[in-house]
Amino acid sequence: IAQSSQISVKASDYDALRAAGVEFPELISAVTFYTNDFDTTTQGVDIVGSYTTEMLSGDAKFSLAYGWTDTSVDKYDPETTDAGKVRRLEDGIPAHRATLTWGQSWDDLSMSVRANYFGEYYAT
pLDDT digits (tens, 9 = 90+) for 2-53: 888 888 999 899 999 999 999 999 999 999 999 888 899 999 999 999 999 9
CA atoms within 13 A on the CB side of 122: 11
Determine what percent of the chain falls in helix, strand and coil, rounding each to the nearest 5. Answer: 15, 55, 30
Distance CA 85, CA 32 (A): 13
For the CA atoms of 102, 121, 6, 74, what is the dihedral angle to 10 degrees? Answer: -100
Closest CA to 77 of 41, 122, 29, 36: 36
Distance CA 32, CA 26 (A): 16
pLDDT digits (tens, 9 = 90+) for 73-87: 999 988 888 898 899
For residue 45, the cross-strand partners are: 68
pLDDT at 79: 83
Distance CA 105, CA 65 (A): 21
